[in-house]
């Protein structure tokens, strides 16, 4: 299974349109981790399984989504209600309670990926307003390949090109 994960475009509609045009037929699922600042019923947002971010007031997105695809339980949140700026522990506990194997979150505008307790946590970073160590890339999104043995995570820049040094593999337990 292949999943595209994006977050924090903050009204930048064109980059999401570009992602949908290129990847809609290449991935099994497209998720948006919040702060789209675009209507959930308009294109390109209607191509994403999206959640509400702290800047999505008045937009009819759910606070979180729990998706089940091919026996994978995928938890999608923005992260602001889960204190992701400080620790992933609240998100880990939520993922365990939901029996999720993959957690997609945003909010920090900084890409991150790790495995903990058999759960993969991925923050695609902000596609439009990046912060942190990789801000100089100019915005990122991620594609996660999942099979029974491993997770593969590749980060891409706004030009839809892979960033070779941001390729990660995690064995599944």
Taking alpha carbons only, the member of 140, 88, 143 closest to residue 119 is: 88
Check residue 123 and give its pLDDT.
98
Residue partners of 24: CB distance under 8 A and separation at least 6: 30, 47
Q: What are the backbone angles phi and psi of residue 83, rounded to the nearest 5°?
A: 60, 40
What's the average pLDDT block by block, 10 residues per block, for the chain (173 residues)? 98 98 98 98 97 97 96 96 93 97 98 97 98 97 96 98 98 88
Gap between the terminal Cα atoms of the chain: 17
76, 82, 42: which is closest to 62 by C-alpha?
Answer: 76
The domain over range 2-171 is classified in CATH as 3.40.50.720? no
Instruction: Output the pTM of the full model.
Output: 0.97
The gap from C-alpha 168 to its chain's centroid, in whole angstroms, comes to 15
- The answer to whether 1 and 72 have CB atoms below 8 angstroms apart is yes
pLDDT confidence of residue 173: 74
What does the alpha-carbon distance between residue 117 and residue 109 come to, in Å, rounded to a whole number? 24
What Rg, from alpha-carbon coordinates, does the chain have? 14
- Taking a C-beta distance cutoff of 8 angstroms, is the pair 63, 77 a contact? yes
Query: Which of helix, strand or coil describes residue 150?
Result: strand
Please report the pLDDT score of residue 163 as a whole number. Answer: 98
């Amino acid at each position: 299974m292949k999943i595209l994960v994006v977050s924090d475009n903050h009204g930048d509609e064109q980059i999401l349109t570009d992602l949908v045009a290129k990847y809609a037929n290449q991935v099994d699922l497209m998720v948006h981790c919040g702060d789209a600042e675009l209507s959930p019923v308009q294109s390109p947002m209607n191509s994403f399984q999206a959640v509400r971010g702290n800047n999505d007031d008045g937009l009819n997105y759910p606070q979180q989504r729990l998706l089940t695809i091919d026996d994978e339980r995928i938890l999608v949140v923005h992260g602001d209600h889960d204190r992701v700026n400080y620790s992933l522990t609240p998100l880990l506990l939520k993922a365990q309670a939901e029996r999720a194997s993959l957690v997609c979150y945003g909010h920090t505008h900084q890409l991150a990926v790790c495995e903990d307790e058999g759960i993969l946590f991925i923050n695609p970073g902000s596609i439009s307003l990046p912060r942190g160590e990789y801000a100089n890339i100019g915005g990122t999104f991620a594609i996660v390949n999942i099979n029974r043995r491993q997770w593969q995570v590749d980060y891409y820049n706004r030009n839809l090109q892979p960033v070779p040094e941001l390729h990660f593999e995690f064995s599944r337990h």
